[in-house]
Amino acid sequence: METLANDGVTHGTRGTQGRSVEGAATRRKAWGITAMLTLFMVFNFADKALLGLVARPAMAELGLSPFAFGFIGSSFFFLFSLSAIVVGFVADRMSSRWLVFALALIWAAVQFPILAGGGATALLVCRIILGAGEGPALPIALHATHSWFPAEDRALPSNLIAVGPTIGAAVAAPALSWIIASPALGWRWAFGLLGIAGLLWGIAWACIGKDGPYRNLHGASEGMAVASSATEKLATVPLRRVFGCRMWLIATLAGFACFWAQAAMTTWVPQYIGGVLGVPQTRVGLVYALPWAFGTLLLIALGFAGRRIMRGGGSARVAVAGLFGMSLLVSGVCLLGLPHASGVWALALTTVGWGAFLVFPMAPTAVAYAVNPGQRAAVISTMVGIASIGGVVSPAVFGWFVQRAGDALAAQGHSSPLQLAAGLGDAFTLTGLLLVGTGLAAVLWIRPEQTAAMLQQRTYAHRSSTSIAS
């Protein structure tokens, strides 16, 4: 049966009927928005990855020690958590179009002081501001994308958004490495070109970006027929219950491990490739792109697999959370073996170990199934904000491991490969243990459907008891 709501929106049943009613134009718009937001995430991660790529020339020119460089890497996350949480709560009351536009402008603006000749202090300040602008990026991009798709179809577009960062590094790393090594351009122009590209994207988004029909329960943003899935029908629950449930805590802890690995990767893995594996500077970007390319292919494959499972009647626990947890397990095992490998094996373990955990966006996607659309942005943003603390800690910890191993870099940025290998080997082992532990926990305890039912039941019981008492 169909009913006509007061706002003129027709609500049908879930599945094929809803998809047929949407119309080809809306589906094209949905995938167009997804493509734009995927490109948005490409720039997002190109900005992050750049610091690791410029490590040697920047450390040499600015006179930075390993710990000081690690501290600047960590500074990216100083305001990351706070901005992710604050903007996440604002996102439920403000159009995603203008939020995304504002974030893009911030990213672009902070690149130019480095191009203009800023020193270590300018680099530190710009990385802090960049982190504040990028903190809300993933949750806002997912929230905006989810507003264009019914719940059962979100696995694939969510993974495409997640592919953006991996494409950003896989495509940008070789290009940026060439710019950095170019005598005519140099490492500062790598920042400048990213700033220009970000400005151009922001202008395009301001013209194209729009919220979709699934932004709220009734789809009023489009004034058209939409299907009402189980997620859209969930009642609002107290956020304190969401933040206190086991699934949300496990997903946040797994996110902590992913951010830990991600920040360490963008800051230190290029140095491992050049200083330990002995890859020439002109080819570091190509080798560094391998784990990102692997992560891209993995995310696309898991996106299609998740959609097939969900459309076949499977659960989000299997289609999203289970695949996410297994990926973290694989990544952790590879990183545990990496300090003991060399040659082709080291290259293979680097590719898989530093690529498989890049499926992190599947965790907030899984959590989103447990709440209604009106609470989605706040829940995802808070999770990402807290999880990002891992990114604050890991670059400095890696720098401490390297310095403890006796690898005090000279002003020219040279290091001893044996000492660098020893310090990074210990850091890789710690990262592997984190990923194995949280990946196993994710497989066992991230259960979106069960958590949604539990939250609804407790909320209903509380409201019933309150009504009786009054």
| Mean pLDDT to the nearest integer, 277-299 | 83
**pTM of whole model > 0.75?**
no
Q: 109 vs 47, 120, 164, 196, CA distance in Å?
A: 12, 17, 21, 9
The pLDDT value recorded for residue 427 is: 94
pLDDT digits (tens, 9 = 90+) for 89-119: 777 777 888 888 999 999 999 999 999 888 8
Residue 438 has pLDDT above 60, yes or no: yes
| Mean pLDDT to the nearest integer, 37-44 | 86
Cα–Cα distance between 272 and 53 in angstroms, integer? 11
Q: Which is higher by pLDDT, 50 or 17? A: 50
The pLDDT value recorded for residue 170 is: 66
Say which residues have a Cβ less than 8 Å from residue 256's Cβ, sequence separation at least 6.
386, 387, 389, 390, 434, 438
Asked if 187 and 176 touch (Cβ cutoff 8 Å), the reply is: no
**Burial classification of residue 236, based on how many CB atoms lie within 10 Å of its CB (0-12 exposed, 13-18 middle, 19 or more buried):** exposed
| Mean pLDDT to the nearest integer, 134-139 | 83
| Mean pLDDT to the nearest integer, 46-50 | 78
Q: Which is higher by pLDDT, 334 or 379? A: 334
Residue 246 has pLDDT above 90, yes or no: yes
Q: In 42-80, which positions are buried (b, 16+ CB within 10 angstroms) versus exposed (e)?
A: bbbbbbbbbbbbbbbbbbbbbebbbbbbbbbbbbbbbbb
Q: What band does 12 get if pLDDT is binned at 50, 70 and 90?
A: very low
Q: What value does the mean pLDDT of the chain take?
A: 81
Percentage of the chain beyond pLDDT 90 is 27
The pLDDT value recorded for residue 464 is: 63
Residue 305 has pLDDT above 80, yes or no: yes
| Mean pLDDT to the nearest integer, 402-414 | 57
Cα–Cα distance between 123 and 118 in angstroms, integer? 7
Q: Please give the domain boundaries of the chain with CATH numbers for all domains.
A: 3-465 (1.20.1250.20)
